[in-house]
Amino acid sequence: MSEPAPIVTAVGETPEASGGLWQTETARVLSTRLGRMVGDKTATALATLGLYSVGDLLRHVPLHWIMGAESSPLDELREGEYAAVVADVEHSGRVGQHPKQRFVATISDGAHQVELTFFAGGKYPKAAESRLAYWEKLLPPGARGIFAGKFSYFRGQAQLTNPDFVTIDASGAVVGGAARNRAMGRVGQSEGMIGLYPQTKKAKTWDIAETVALVLDQVDLADPWPDWVRERAEVLDLMSAFRAVHRPSRSDEVDAGLDRLRFDEAFRAQLTMARRRADADHWTAIPRTVGEDGLLAAFDARLPFSLTEGQRAIGDEVLADLAQERPMQRLLQGEVGSGKTVVAVRAMLAVAESGGQSALLAPTEVLATQHAHSITALLGELAHGGGLLGEQATRVVLLTGSMSAAERRAALAEIASGEAGIVVGTHALLSTDISFDDLALVVVDEQHRFGVEQRAVLSDRARARPHVLVMTATPIPRTVAMTIFGDLTVSTLRQVPAGRSEVSTVVVDEQANPAWVDRAWQRIVEEVGQGRQAFVVCPKVRPTKDDPARSVTELYEALTEGQGAPGPLASLRVAMLHGQLPSAEKDEVMGRFAAGELDVIVATTVVEVGVDVPNASVMVISDADRFGISQLHQLRGRIGRGRHPGVCLLLTSVEADSPARERLDAVARSRDGFELAEVDLAQRREGDVLGANQAGARSSLRLIRVLDHVEVIEQARDIAIEAVRRDPELSDPGFVDAITETELAAQEDWLERN
Ligand code: ADP
Ligand code: MG
């Protein structure tokens, strides 16, 4: 993206050209595709950063800001991050012999060091020699330079391999380096401060800076908020904020600019929540009430255990909600294994009792199938609706995308007639050819895989608004709940049913203790010998080039057939389970495992959510560092569900003091999902607060860190409430655009994931 592209200005575009979507000129300009303003080549490069519109670019704020003379903080660099740093060469020199010779240098910002390695290449000795000589000349001890590339860590030491660089003098002027890297000089030369942007190979920080400058010169944006909002929030106007973050002269300007942009993010989210709450006020639902001796009472009477206090209390709240004329909008969050399913089943039975239907949405077919089976089992004779019990029974119907045409027709008929009181499925339940007789309740299991959009789509399928119960095992800190789920009432199940077993978690460092890996497989053999079962989890299905992580197929073979000698699990009944298997096969494997006909499943994260096999007591997670904290916690939740203490072994080859290892240690230390969720959030940076999985998170929450910015979120919520008070329809053009933008982002997110 080096050559400046022809400039096409967005100004003069007719409203029709942009679909007439926006109320304000500001929103229109911000939504302009970058290609129209900076040229296709640059736009293509910026797309590698997920930047598509003018607004995306202007909101892409630098990670660090440096003065020409000031060094960048080397200790803030993360594994895998592209960055440019200004630093001095401490020592440098040649290492190794032809054909593996290289030039290494240690650079420092005074406090922290980075190891640079330049590979000379081995084919042509002369060329290699001239490269080495070039580096030697440019990067002797004492030289100062700007170095950019992808950072990695080795034994806790930051590394840059074959970085781009230029050398600079004390004034920041470029004095050496490749011509194509001259633009890096901006980093050293600017009058004010220079931002170092998150970058990719195709879109480097100095090019981003140049493009931002180009765009900033072309646009002049009126502030989208009414004056009173800006006054209450005490923030800069929008244009000043963009200038402040992209071209500051002092660091307090940066802070003021960021404050404004963060406020905007939080405020857009809160306005959207306010809008949804206001809309929900107009919705009516059919109240569903239960009798003393109805289906629910019959179910409670035959439950093999007594409900925990939490299950009972939340159950009462849910029943009270269902009896209202307003649709329930409730989020049930609860530790893995806390027994959320029973709460949902009771709600669905309450609805069935009054003749209504429920849809239970699960994130995977495996989970949907399992839910259907376990709910049917839990209901026992109460699931034989249409039979002798008549009114006192209902039917559970499973609907998945992979059913045969005949099965599907039968299921659809039962759904349409209303015979099926409980319909379980994946998002296939959302397809338009499904009509319910009287859809009264939608239960969404494991919300983190579902978006707001999906809830909306399903809701549109009912005659009246259905009640909605969303369940998640990923504990959600209060601020996140406020930001993402502001339209839901939150209930929390903190208790895990009595009689749960301990799960001990151990990190196995494969480099330091290779023998422990054999011990891990041995442990599985021992547990199976005791009648238990085991999971082995891998991060991917098949081997891939350039990635040493073991796949399901590789590990399955190594564990069973082995090479030469039989594998360590050769004597056991082992099967593979992963998303690429045909559904029937997945169901079969899961079914055999649940029935105790298999000892070990080697799987991907398809077992992550909800799989409930109480007899499983061991889980070995291969390349555990590839998983996030919440994911590991979820995975581990699959064991220790019965009477047997569990053991979870996290195999890893990462360095002992790397951030990845810290995550694993945190998981080993704590079994408290709430505590882990906070560690998880604290480790993340802006932009991936909830991962791409959360509704709207990818595109609408870039700067807000939910743990750090509690005050901004609360302030934004207060101002949003005030906005509704002043303007009940939220008809101010700026508000309308903010809500449109958030909803679009949520939709895009959703589409991307499905
Ligand atoms: P999660 O909240 O993770 O979805 P589940 O609903 O799958 O948890 O429940 C886990 C297991 O605990 C299931 O086997 C379920 O039957 C059992 N269970 C639920 N509630 C209780 C209870 N009150 N007492 C004993 N076991 C329970
Ligand atoms: Mg569950």
The pLDDT of residue 184: 72
Ligand 1 center from residue 337 Cα (angstroms): 6
pLDDT number for residue 754: 46
CA neighbor of 233 nearest in space, from 222, 241, 244: 241
Ligand 1 center to residue 633 CA distance, Å?
17
- The pLDDT assigned to 402 comes to 81
What mean pLDDT is reported for the chain?
A: 83
668-709 confidence digits (pLDDT tens): 998 888 788 777 766 654 333 333 333 233 344 566 665 567
Ligand 1 lined by 341 (C-beta under 6 Å)? yes
Cis peptide before 659 (omega within 30 of 0): no
The secondary structure of the chain in percent helix, strand, coil, rounded to multiples of 5, reads 45, 20, 40
Secondary structure class of 85 (helix, strand, coil): strand
Continuous H helices in 530-669: 552-560, 583-594, 629-636, 659-669
Ligand minimally distant from the alpha carbon of residue 378: 1
Q: Measured from the CB, is residue 204 less than 6 Å from ligand 1?
A: no
* 641 CB-contact burial (10 Å; exposed 0-12 / middle 13-18 / buried 19+): buried
* Crossing angle between the packed helical segments 251-282 and 733-753, to the nearest 10 degrees: 80
Reading the block at residue 651, the tokens are 């195999």
Q: Which ligand has an atom closest to residue 339 CA?
A: 1
Say how far apart CA 208 and CA 47 lie, in whole Å: 12
Residue nearest to atom 12 of ligand 1 (CA): 339
Write down the pLDDT at residue 74.
67
Residue pair 550/556 in contact (Cβ under 8 Å)? The answer is no
Residue 4 is predicted with a pLDDT of 35
Mean pLDDT, rounded, for 11-34: 74
Q: Is the CB of 336 under 6 A from ligand 1?
A: yes
- Report which of residues 373 and 73 the model is more confident about: 373
Please report the pLDDT score of residue 76 as a whole number: 67
Candidate of 306, 342, 445 to mutate for ligand 1, largest count of ligand atoms within 8 Å of Cβ: 342
pLDDT of 15 above 60: no
311 lines ligand 1 (CB under 6 A): yes
Ligand 1, atom 19, residue with closest C-alpha = 339
| Whether the CB of 38 sits within 6 Å of ligand 1 | no
CA-CA-CA-CA dihedral for 621, 625, 630, 631, to nearest 10: -40
22/733 Cα distance (integer angstroms): 8
8 A C-beta contact, residue 690 and residue 661: no
Among 188-192, 301-305, 360-364, whose mean pLDDT is lowest? 188-192
Give Cα 498 distance to the centre of its chain: 32
Question: Residue 18: its pLDDT value, please?
Answer: 47
Asked if residue 497 has its Cβ within 6 Å of ligand 1, the reply is: yes
Per DSSP bridges, beta strands 439-445 and 420-425 are unpaired
312 CA to middle of ligand 2, Å?
A: 17
* pLDDT level of residue 638 (50, 70, 90 thresholds): confident
Distance CA 8, CA 349 (A): 60
Decide whether any atom of ligand 1 lies within 6 Å of the 343 Cβ.
Answer: no
What CA–CA distance (Å, rounded) separates 752 from 746? 10
CA distance 22 to 222: 14
Strand 489-493: give its sheet, edge to edge: 395-399, 420-425, 357-361, 439-445, 467-472, 329-334, 489-493
Asked whether 337 lines ligand 1 (CB < 6 A), one says yes
Q: Which atom of ligand 1 is nearest to the CA of 378?
A: 16
Q: How many angstroms is it from 498 CA to the middle of ligand 2? A: 17
Judge whether residue 30 has pLDDT over 90: yes
420 DSSP β-pair partners:
395
What is the percentage of the chain residues whose pLDDT exceeds 70? 83
The number of the ligand 1 atom at minimal distance from the alpha carbon of 445 is: 4
- In testing the pocket of ligand 1, which one of 341, 443, 492, 644 has its CB within 8 Å of the most ligand atoms? 341
Q: Which helix (H) or strand (E) holds 422?
A: strand 420-425
The pLDDT-based confidence of 70 (bands split at 50, 70, 90) is low
The two tokens of residue 224 are 């989208």
- Provide the whole-model pTM: 0.64
Tokens found for residue 110: 């005074």
Q: Is 300 in the pocket of ligand 1 (CB under 6 A)?
A: no
Q: Does 612 contact ligand 1 (Cβ within 6 A)?
A: yes
Residue nearest to atom 1 of ligand 1 (CA): 337
- Find tokens 């004010």 and name the residue: 192
Minimal CA–CA distance to 443: which of 420, 418, 472? Answer: 472
637 CA closest ligand 1 atom index? 3
End-to-end Cα spacing for the chain: 32
Report the distance separating Cα 72 and Cα 65, nearest Å: 8
185 lines ligand 1 (CB under 6 A): no
Q: Which atom of ligand 1 is nearest to the CA of 614?
A: 14
Q: What is the dihedral of CA 135, 140, 142, 145, to 10 degrees?
A: 0
In contact, 227 and 125? CB cutoff 8 Å: no
Residue 183's alpha-carbon distances to 82, 168, 388, 528, in angstroms, are: 16, 12, 81, 62
The span from the CA of 263 to the CA of 253, in Å, is 15
Helix (H, G, I), strand (E, B) or coil at 369: helix
- Distance (angstroms) between ligand 2 centre and the Cα of 609 equals 7
Atom of ligand 1 nearest to the CA of 343: 6
**Rounded to an integer, what distance in angstroms lies between the CA atom of residue 26 and that of residue 156?**
46
